[in-house]
Amino acid sequence: MEAVKVMSLKKQYGNQVVLNDIEFSVMKGEIFGLIGVNGAGKTTTLECIEGLRKADQGSIAFSGTLGVQLQSSSLPSQIKVKEALQLFSVWNGRSFRPDSVTVFGMDGLLERKYQHLSIGQKRRLHLALALLSDPDILILDEPTAGLDIDGRIEIHQIIKNLKKQGKTVILSSHDLMEIEDLCDRVAILSNGRLVLLSESRDFADKNNRQVKVRAKFSEPISLSETEESVYDSMSDSVIIATDHLEDAMITLLEMAKQHHVRLTDFIIERDGVEQMFLDIIRKEKSS
């Protein structure tokens, strides 16, 4: 079941087209990743969904209520955490319970002024505010930007818990490892166009991805041109690209036997979202 359906979204600032026919659906209960380089149109897409920007063309349909954590958020510097939570609760027709923010690590910060919070604490506060109304769909625009590793792990855990609760999450991030770790599906934007929309979690399924084995031999070997599995070779090492790790290992051992050398070291590399993203962006640039 679709939680969000974006259809033929177009947006232009003057002569500059920032969104060109963007179309995707986000299924209920999934974490959907939106990635792209700066200026690709991620934030504009999200702001159109959030209602902060009006698209020139196209439509957006929701099934459920929306909670939003913006890329750049702020609150009055003198407001205390508790007051912000109370204010946003009362405007959403709810009463604020201090224990409801324990999960965000906010319980010890309730009397602290916004200006005295760290970046990570501010991010967690804005996430807590976005969840105050118990929304069905959550839009998180670069939720871990500027956070240290602890902060990232905390936010990741919160997002994973949201999925467990059946929430739909749309996540924009520059951190491709984060996208790979959290998202069920991804869309890649480039120059305002949707250049890839994964249809399943295959993009992150390590078993279905090509494996590269970088192997080092005890002595340099000369490889024949017919050895198709060899992706790249240097004097004493080769890189084999294969869909199956076992095949690559057998090939390497045979190669060592054939050239009377020893296999001294090997590293297994897998193509991740990062490689996929780089390939697409490179292809886009060259075209």
**Contacting range for other proteins; rule: CB under 8 A; set: 70-78, 98-106, 151-159, 196-204:** 70-78
Q: Does 113 bind other proteins (CB under 8 A)?
A: yes
Q: How far apart are the first and last CA of the chain?
A: 36
Angstrom distance (rounded) from CA 102 to CA 25: 33
Segment (H or E) for 69? strand 66-69
Which C-beta is closer to other proteins: that of 74 or that of 287?
74
Give the count of beta carbons closer than 10 Å to the beta carbon of residue 178: 21
Which C-beta is closer to other proteins: that of 49 or that of 176?
49
Minimum CB separation of residue 256 from other proteins in Å reads: 60
Kindly tell me which residue out of 4, 19, 68, 248 binds other proteins, with binding defined by CB under 8 A: 68
Report whether 29 contacts 167 (CB < 8 A). yes
Which C-beta is closer to other proteins: that of 60 or that of 79?
79
Q: Does 249 bind other proteins (CB under 8 A)?
A: no
Segment (H or E) for 185? strand 185-190
Minimum CB separation of residue 70 from other proteins in Å reads: 6
Minimum CB separation of residue 47 from other proteins in Å reads: 8
Segment (H or E) for 32? strand 31-35
Kindly tell me which residue out of 44, 86, 144, 168 binds other proteins, with binding defined by CB under 8 A: 86
User: Which residues, 6 or more positions from 131, have their beta carbon under 8 angstroms from its beta carbon?
Assistant: 67, 138, 162
Which C-beta is closer to other proteins: that of 40 or that of 49?
49
Q: Count Cα neighbours of 83 within 13 Å in the Cβ-side half-sphere.
A: 10
Q: Does 76 bind other proteins (CB under 8 A)?
A: yes
Helix and strand numbers, DSSP H then E, in the chain: 7, 13
The site string for other proteins over 24-63 (x = CB under 8 A, - otherwise) reads -----------------------x--xxxx----------
Angstrom distance (rounded) from CA 44 to CA 53: 7
The site string for other proteins over 214-243 (x = CB under 8 A, - otherwise) reads ------------------------------
Structural tokens at position 241: 């690209």
Which C-beta is closer to other proteins: that of 118 or that of 207?
118
Report whether 53 contacts 11 (CB < 8 A). yes
Segment (H or E) for 122? helix 119-131
Give the residue carrying structure tokens 């005890």.
218
Q: Map the footprint of other proteins across residues 129-148, applying CB under 8 A.
A: 129-130, 132-133
Minimum CB separation of residue 79 from other proteins in Å reads: 6
Binding site residues, other proteins, CB under 8 A? 47, 50-53, 68, 70, 72-79, 83, 86-88, 90-92, 113, 126, 129-130, 132-133
